[in-house]
Structure 1
């Protein structure tokens, strides 16, 4: 039988799929089957593939309580996310890629949400104190993030999507938002723009701080004037962003460029400007980033930097697994530096 064959017919009437069932079907020892399903390093990739395909085919599910009693592990990784993200934010893409990174391991991804009016420490404490996961993945980090401080003091495995002021000692994966901001100002300057309106992330988030600092420094170098929307951020409702952009354009007619820190903010800001009678590509340019190819379908004139969230999610999964299994190793740390393929020159 081929490795990918459906083995459901190999089950005896009324038989519940177990390790012994997989052992009987594959001809491998029960211990080998168990170690293959747990991604043991001494088991070959071909054997692991064969065992996993058989397990999937017959519908085998491990007894989580038994696994925890034997190993002390839940084989669960918790992704803690805020519910305030807009549907076009890259959270869905991130979730999918993390799950993909865990697909051929013994680990499962569980999403633990928290609401904007809640203490963000609550879900973190819950996971740690109940032992409901073996590691935590966090995003929307702050420079002195209390969640990271707590996890480091507890010695609990974790990885962050985004950096903190302690990034030199903990695992993280991040997008270089400072460089993104610099690329945007440089590209807009090459197009002759003189005054940029920045729709930034919340300044208390590390990536928000990075975009603010990157654009500020680039504007000082290029001589471009920068205005930052004060009443909304990229986390605001799209209607509020559009309204705020229209008000800014009315108050500051010199604005001829918009730089946005998220996809949904870009759509809202562009719509707000167009509702005020501005023509994209003529009266103003827009510079933005995205995780999926969407913005140029919306408006082909938008200047777009891609953010490879798929690769980031897979790396976050690997970093979490290493933090669990090999805590003494140097933490996995990755900063993705963006590029912009500008037909007008540097980037």
Structure 2
């Protein structure tokens, strides 16, 4: 197997220059980088990550902490593209990705403490951020590189990637009001998490701008699996003043809502207007006239790993904060 010394000898360069060129070091001329990479590809050079780990004390492993949202086996469907994006980005960066899955009953702080004690990863990705999330100051105090998927309301700088859930809910609600809806139901994402708080804020802002009074009974605070969504909406539809618009938390909430409408022979887009957030593109294949906010979760996963990799390489660099929008398709 080819090594750096052989590539350096063939090009009459130093091993240091070859190593820096393979990492796209800014101190190496672009033409030299191209020559080095061409030879490395021709001779089949593969970086010796194991040797680097022994030399630096790194594990070359990144760990993503992914809580199960419910005990329902389909409730975590949206995590699949996220895991795919993280896995591919980690591999390209020379890392392996491990998934540390926790149950809804596990304490999130205890889970992070166990990972810190094990020292089995060079960096952590934490998800499902809560208000005043205690994991953020814990990880900052421990000095381990990490990045969060989501924001918390702590007045602390820390690296994160988040979806603009407030804007998504705001746009969904305004679109429903333009459709003439005055009774708009809102599904939140996960009880007591920061993403749900942002969705609620966007909904409230849109309702206030249009002068529509909010009916608290139309706000769903549960974790919306297909079953719970169907039961919740069916209950609302059976009331004396049912909703005419619905903002779904995700595609599973949408599927449940469509079942509830079908039971009562109601047609989406005619009897009840619907907008959903979709992280898997599932909604595009459903025969229903609905508005869709698409979120590229694979891109989110790649961005999380990219930021974490840079954080590991340079812990003192400026904190990176990324807020990604959803892409709205009114389905008309």
In structure 2, the CA distance between the partners of 1:175 and 1:80, relative to structure 1 (3 Å rule), is: same
| C-alpha contact 1:37 1:105 (8 A) present in aligned 2 | no
Deviation string 1:65-112 (CA, Å, 9 cap, x unpaired) is x53331121111111101336366321111111222233222221111
| C-alpha distance 308-54 of structure 1, shift in aligned 2 (>3 A) | farther
2:223 aligned partner: 233
Alignment check: 8 A CA contact 2:230 2:260 kept: yes
- Quote the Cα distance in structure 2 between the aligned partners of 1:316 and 1:206: 18
Identify the match of residue 161 of structure 1 among 138, 149, 166: 149
Secondary structure at the aligned position of 1:259 is classed as strand
Cα distance, 1:93–1:286 mapped onto 2, change above 3 Å: same
Let me know the Cα RMSD of the aligned residues: 3.0
**Offset at residue 262 of structure 1 (A):** 1.2
Q: Residues 336, 73 of structure 1: CA spacing in aligned structure 2 closer, same or farther, 3 A cutoff?
A: same
Of 18, 35, 39, the match for 2:19: 35
CA shift, 1:254, in A, is: 2.9
Partner residue of 2:194?
206
In 2, distance between residues paired with 1:337 and 1:325?
A: 28
Query: May I ask how many residue pairs the two structures share in their alignment?
Result: 320
The offset of 1:18, in angstroms, is 7.8
- Distance 1:165-1:136 versus aligned 2 partners, 3 A rule: same
Tell whether the 8 Å contact from 2:250 to 2:277 is kept in structure 1 after alignment.
Answer: yes
Q: 1:121 aligns with which of 86, 99, 109?
A: 109
For 1:19 and 1:205, the matched residues in 2 are separated by 49
Q: How does 1:80-159 map to 2 (within 5 A)?
A: 80-84=65-69, 86=74, 89-159=77-147
SS in structure 2 of the partner of residue 331 of structure 1: coil
Secondary structure in 1 aligned to 2:319? coil
Q: Is 1:307 matched up with 2:295? A: yes
Please tell me whether the aligned partners of residues 94 and 310 of structure 1 are also in contact (alpha carbons under 8 angstroms).
yes
Matches within 5 A, 1:273-292: 273-292=261-280
> TM-score, normalised to structure 2's length?
0.84
Do 1:203 and 1:212's aligned partners in 2 also have CA atoms closer than 8 Å? no
2:54 counterpart (60, 65, 69): 69
Partner of 2:315: 327
For the Cα contact (< 8 Å) 2:168–2:199, is it kept in 1?
Answer: yes
Note the alpha carbon deviations across 1:234-277, whole angstroms, 9 max, x for none: 3xx32122112111211254311111111111111221222222
- Separation (CA, whole Å) in 2 of partners of 1:334 and 1:122: 27
Secondary structure in 2 matching 1:145? coil
**Is the Cα–Cα contact under 8 Å of residues 36 and 48 in structure 1 kept in the other structure?**
no
Could you tell me the TM-score, scaled by structure 1's length?
A: 0.81
Unaligned runs of 5+ in 2: none
Deviations 1:5-45 (A, max 9, x none): xxxxxxxxxxxx5858x948x95799569937983736736
Deviation of 1:154 after TM superposition, in Å, equals: 0.8
How far did 1:308 drift? 2.2
